[in-house]
């Protein structure tokens, strides 16, 4: 089971109740009300086991480092964003509140610690008429990476100007050759390009809420790349390549597969079938949010959720105890407004590009190379005789 009682958690961790509750308040252990007894709480098994392993306080450096990489303590210093008390904060501002009124351009400026960013786009040339936005984005960034200057040794002001250009390059690739050039808000241009003007506000909210999420996998890839002195476009290319994985930005694609199954056999049967195959549900639960992903709640509360999606979410929560996360909300958004199939990943990539570049700018100013070590577990070295 994914959840355990307080007595079970205390037995596993071998600590007093106060220690358990302190870990919950610090966001290190997820907790939720026990539906069978509202006076009690349940605690997430994986979090309890992880804290039990870390309990001794005399952990070896190798073990500390390994756990830090695996949803552990922060491994890099950053002033850009953080998740604290179940909320996402951009430079001390609540991202959920910002999504109510702020534009993507304003939030990008905030993340870059500068004024509102103007994202100037023009008609983009694709390598072939059939290129999808992801292919066009990867090609455009790879082309820039081959010619852009290194990020090291350049002033923040110059790098911020280049960052705006890199963000525009990605926006152009996603908007496509049929999109009109101009300086209107990106959310407006996307809505027009996709033939769905009524989706503009929802798109704006998505771009704001997904602009950054502290040290996620794609952002870490960007950090590592730029730490070598590579160009900003190379850092974004690394981030985008990482985002395409099914455990990251590609999760919304798996939601479509689950919806297709539910369409054929019904939500409850689909959930049972999915579990019977030993498959993890995509787009449900998040290690950083014990009470559910607030970004998902913020998005789902502003759109008319298709009945099948709502029924499926209820069935999954009943079966495994996890709520929809922002990947599920992206799939709902695409369905509710009949957006293109690529829209969830395209929105995720464009939004997160603002964060990738914020972290790239921050990393470039440190001048430090990120070079972790491995903990070798292979055959022992054999010196030559």
d(C-alpha 156, C-alpha 150), whole Å: 13
Dig out the tokens for 364 from the structure: 């470039």
CA contacts within 13 A on the Cβ side of 302: 21
d(C-alpha 233, C-alpha 366), whole Å: 18
Q: Annotated catalytic, 132?
A: no
* Nearest residue to 230 (alpha-carbon basis) of 120, 146, 130, 138: 146
Place of tokens 């870390």: 54
d(C-alpha 221, C-alpha 143), whole Å: 19
> Among 47, 286, 293, 359, which one carries the catalytic annotation?
286
d(C-alpha 373, C-alpha 56), whole Å: 23
d(C-alpha 196, C-alpha 305), whole Å: 17
Q: Annotated catalytic, 213?
A: no
* Nearest residue to 332 (alpha-carbon basis) of 353, 291, 288, 302: 302
Place of tokens 């689909």: 270
Place of tokens 């009943």: 318
d(C-alpha 101, C-alpha 358), whole Å: 21
> Among 327, 338, 359, 368, which one carries the catalytic annotation?
327
Reduced to 3 states (helix: H, G, I; strand: E, B; else coil), residue 34 is strand
Strand order in the sheet with 37-44: 3-4, 37-44, 31-34
Say if strands 3-4 and 81-84 run parallel, antiparallel, or are unpaired: unpaired
Reduced to 3 states (helix: H, G, I; strand: E, B; else coil), residue 169 is helix
* Nearest residue to 351 (alpha-carbon basis) of 100, 111, 122, 115: 111
Active site positions, annotated: 286, 327
């Amino acid at each position: 089971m994914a959840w355990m009682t307080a007595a079970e958690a205390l037995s596993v961790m071998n600590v007093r109740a106060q220690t358990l509750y302190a870990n919950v308040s610090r966001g290190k252990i997820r907790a939720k009300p026990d539906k069978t007894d509202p006076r009690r709480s349940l605690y997430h098994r994986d979090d309890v086991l992880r804290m039990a392993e870390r309990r001794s306080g005399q952990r070896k450096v190798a073990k500390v480092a390994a756990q830090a990489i695996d949803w552990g303590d922060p491994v890099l210093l950053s002033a850009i964003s953080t998740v604290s008390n179940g909320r996402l904060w951009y430079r001390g501002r609540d991202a959920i509140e910002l999504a109510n009124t702020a534009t993507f351009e304003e939030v990008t400026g905030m993340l870059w610690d500068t004024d509102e960013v103007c994202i100037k786009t023009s008609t983009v040339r694709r390598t072939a008429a059939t290129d999808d936005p992801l292919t066009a984005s990867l090609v455009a960034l790879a082309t820039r990476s081959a010619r852009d200057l290194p990020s090291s040794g350049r002033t923040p002001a110059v790098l911020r100007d280049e960052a705006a250009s890199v963000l525009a390059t990605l926006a152009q690739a996603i908007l496509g050759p049929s999109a009109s050039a101009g300086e209107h808000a990106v959310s407006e241009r996307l809505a027009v390009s996709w033939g769905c003007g009524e989706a503009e506000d929802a798109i704006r909210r998505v771009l704001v809420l997904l602009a950054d999420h502290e040290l996620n996998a794609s952002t870490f890839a960007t950090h590592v790349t730029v730490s070598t002195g590579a160009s900003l476009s190379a850092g974004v290319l690394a981030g985008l390549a990482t985002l395409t994985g099914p455990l990251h930005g590609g999760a919304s694609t798996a939601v479509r597969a689950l919806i297709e199954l539910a369409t054929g056999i019904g939500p409850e049967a689909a959930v049972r079938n999915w579990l019977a195959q030993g498959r993890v549900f995509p787009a449900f639960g998040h290690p950083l949010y014990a009470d559910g992903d607030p970004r998902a709640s913020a998005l789902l509360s502003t759109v008319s959720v298709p009945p099948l999606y709502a029924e499926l979410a209820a069935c999954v929560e009943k079966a495994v105890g996890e709520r929809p996360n922002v990947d599920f909300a992206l799939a709902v958004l695409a369905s509710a407004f009949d957006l293109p199939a690529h829209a969830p990943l395209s929105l995720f990539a464009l939004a997160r590009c603002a964060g990738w570049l914020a972290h790239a700018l921050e990393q470039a100013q440190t001048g430090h190379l990120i070079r972790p070590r491995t903990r070798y577990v292979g055959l022992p070295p054999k010196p030559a005789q």
